[in-house]
Amino acid sequence: MRFSSKKLVALLLIVAVCTVGVAFAMKFTNNALTDNSLSQSDETRADKVMVYGNGVTFVEYQEAITLENGTNTVQFYLPSGALTDTLTVSGIDVATIATSEESQPIIESGDMITVYTTDGSYTGKFISWDTMLLLDADNGTIMIPETSITRIVLNQVVQVQGPKILVQITTDSPPGDYQLNVSYLMRGPQWTPTYFIDLDTSQLQCWATIQNVESWNNFTLVLVSGGPHIVYNGPILQPFAVVNPLVAQAYSVSVDFTPSTTDEYHEYTYDSKLSFQEGTTVKVPLLNGTVSLRQEYFWNGGEVQNRYHINNTLDQPLASGTVEFYRGTTWVGEDSIGYTPVNAESIAVVNYAYDIKVISTVTKSINQNNYQDQGINITIQNYKPTSIQILIQQDTNGYDLVSTTPQATIVGSTLSWITNVDVNGTATIYYEWQHSW
């Protein structure tokens, strides 16, 4: 085969470039081994993952490394939501820690925060911040001047997506084999409890939902009630505390979880190793048991509510969460409950009793220049095929009570009556109040 001089020169250049490329690749590989670089992949290293209820997660893992003579550089990757201020590294003598980007725990759009100012406090969803902090609260946007902010508390965080964060650690530890211990806080995922209650049997089941997980493989899952209290100094937003606990919450646990207590936290460790994939929602069983239920019809305006008192007869408190109500296999309603200690109760609305009608009518009204008197008549009509008992409540708004028929139970400005109504029967309540100025 014959080559022209131009083709021969081109061929020699190609061979030279390839040779240099191979040599460069070999040198890069040797340097990577010398610098103890840990390869980046879709999987995030984790041996133990502690997921808090406010969207903050604590990650721990160990890595075996080998150091050579001289100064070594150890490299590894953190997820995009890692709060690098909370990064801790032990097992070697750390000289410096550098990250590929400035990853301070700055407030992200969508975070639920409480802003303390010289004039008061505001809680809502963070929108943005230039010279004014914009907060979505009370069905509107609140504009808070930067100079008036004294403190910001991060109540619940959103998970962020982006490139992984490269961490470079320099060490002068002597040559040898070491076990690197890494831990850090990150944004997301978060977990929430969902309760399922059978109104016929009073059986309760709870499932924990973990949303937007990372790609973790063969790790130990720990669900933690409450969340770390993260506080920022305004207006420069430098964090000064990330470990103070909120009020603890806890659960009775199923055989799949082992409960424990650390400081004010209640932790639930899944008994077997798990693997999650990024971008998925995972549900795991948390607890089951029997609670005490008491049904009640209730009215304080609007439709009559069919609600239940849920007495926590389990051996652990119930955390705030959503309750799904069933009768056997048939779903009948949904509500949410707040934190419920052992032997305490929460009240949840299951549905509305449309066969019970309550009508409130003003039957007396006197209005003078400095005096007002009003009488209200409440009529309860029962169209159900069974007799019922109903709790009626009204608020006098702090005005002076003149009379009630029948006698009401009075707590503060709230009047309460428990009334029995026969099948196709009616019952009436009358009360009168006065106000002068």
Considering the domain boundaries, does residue 320 fall inside one?
A: no
Considering the domain boundaries, does residue 43 fall inside one?
A: no
pLDDT at 28: 31
Q: Answer yes or no: do 98 and 166 share one domain.
A: yes
Token pair listed for 254: 């199923």
For the chain, the domain total comes to 3
Q: Answer yes or no: do 121 and 92 share one domain.
A: no
Q: Answer yes or no: do 81 and 169 share one domain.
A: yes
Q: Answer yes or no: do 394 and 419 share one domain.
A: yes
Considering the domain boundaries, does residue 329 fall inside one?
A: no
Q: Answer yes or no: do 74 and 134 share one domain.
A: no
Alpha carbon distance 356, 208 (integer Å)? 37
Query: Which amino acid makes up residue 304?
Result: V
Q: Answer yes or no: do 83 and 116 share one domain.
A: no
Sign of CA dihedral 392, 394, 400, 402: negative
Q: Answer yes or no: do 84 and 147 share one domain.
A: no
Considering the domain boundaries, does residue 62 fall inside one?
A: yes
Token pair listed for 230: 């993260």
Considering the domain boundaries, does residue 269 fall inside one?
A: no
SS3 203: strand
C-alpha closest to that of 226 among 254, 266, 259: 266
CA angle 315, 195, 285 (to 5 degrees): 80
Which domain CATH number covers 403?
A: 2.60.40
pLDDT at 157: 83
Q: Answer yes or no: do 426 and 361 share one domain.
A: yes
Considering the domain boundaries, does residue 88 fall inside one?
A: yes
From first to last of its 437 residues, the chain has per-residue pLDDT tens of 443 444 433 433 333 434 434 333 333 333 333 456 554 455 789 999 999 888 889 999 999 999 999 999 999 999 888 888 889 999 999 999 998 865 455 688 888 989 999 889 999 999 988 788 999 998 899 999 888 888 888 888 888 777 888 999 999 999 999 999 999 999 888 888 999 999 999 999 999 999 878 889 999 999 887 777 777 644 444 433 333 222 223 333 333 566 666 656 677 888 889 999 888 899 988 889 999 999 999 999 999 999 999 999 998 778 889 999 999 999 999 999 988 888 999 999 999 999 999 999 999 999 988 889 999 999 999 999 999 999 999 999 989 999 999 999 999 999 999 999 999 999 999 999 999 88
pLDDT at 324: 98
Considering the domain boundaries, does residue 77 fall inside one?
A: yes
Token pair listed for 40: 């980046």
Residue finishing a domain among 187, 203, 227? 187
Which domain CATH number covers 124?
A: 2.30.30.100
C-alpha closest to that of 189 among 349, 50, 330: 50
Q: Answer yes or no: do 179 and 148 share one domain.
A: no
Rg, Å, the chain Cα set: 32
Alpha carbon distance 210, 280 (integer Å)? 9
Considering the domain boundaries, does residue 126 fall inside one?
A: yes
C-alpha closest to that of 115 among 147, 83, 86, 140: 147
Look up the domain containing 83 and give its range.
Answer: 56-104+160-187
Q: Answer yes or no: do 98 and 138 share one domain.
A: no
Provide φ and ψ at 33, rounded to 5°.
-70, -40
Token pair listed for 434: 């006065």
Give the global pTM.
0.72
pLDDT at 286: 86
Beta bridge partners of 90: 181
Q: Answer yes or no: do 376 and 430 share one domain.
A: yes
